[in-house]
Amino acid sequence: MEKGFGGMDGAFHVAVKTIDAHFAKADAILQIVHSKLEHEFEVTYPGNANPLKLLARKKRLQDELPLLREECDKLLAAKQDLIDAARTTLVKNRTLLCQLQARAGLPVSCDADDPIYSSFVKTLEEWDHQLEIVSVTESHEFTRPDLNLELFRSKVFKRDE
């Protein structure tokens, strides 16, 4: 009789082969179950509606949300800076243009006659009105960029609810 590892005989090899066969059988059964479940998910949830995939996607989106919020905050601050700069620069330029036209003896168009300037002023007034609505509904004191941010957040959260 053949002596195995540590002086054991062939019974050890038979036991190992039996366990190996059981593991192989269990692996084959698990593969069949996996295939059946995968097929059932495809039939029940066509396309990419697999709940496990959706949960993984949701987790990725939750991980990306703080970065997106930070980027939105930067974008909103830049937007408010642009609005403030446009308001200051364009109104000053409009005033200077009217003064130059008057000095040159040219007819000075009033603000109501200029549709582009009127549209610009109307847009600024609407923006200011939106900021006032936010400041009235909130009990905090905000700086102008913060009001912009709060306005954005209030619209985003209202859509989510």
Query: What's residue 63's pLDDT?
Result: 92
| DSSP state letter for 140 | S
Query: What's residue 80's pLDDT?
Result: 78
Answer yes or no: are the C-beta atoms of 134 and 150 closer than 8 Å: yes
CA angle 136, 137, 139 (to 5 degrees): 80
10 Å Cβ neighbour count for 12? 14
Contacting residues for 5 by C-beta, under 8 A, at least 6 apart? 12
CA angle 131, 136, 138 (to 5 degrees): 95
Distance in angstroms (rounded) separating the CA atoms of residues 71 and 75: 6
Q: What is the pLDDT along the chain (161 residues), one digit of tens a residue?
A: 445 555 556 777 888 889 989 999 999 999 999 999 888 877 887 776 777 778 888 999 999 988 888 888 788 778 878 888 888 898 888 888 888 888 988 888 777 778 888 888 888 888 777 767 655 555 555 555 566 666 666 655 554 44
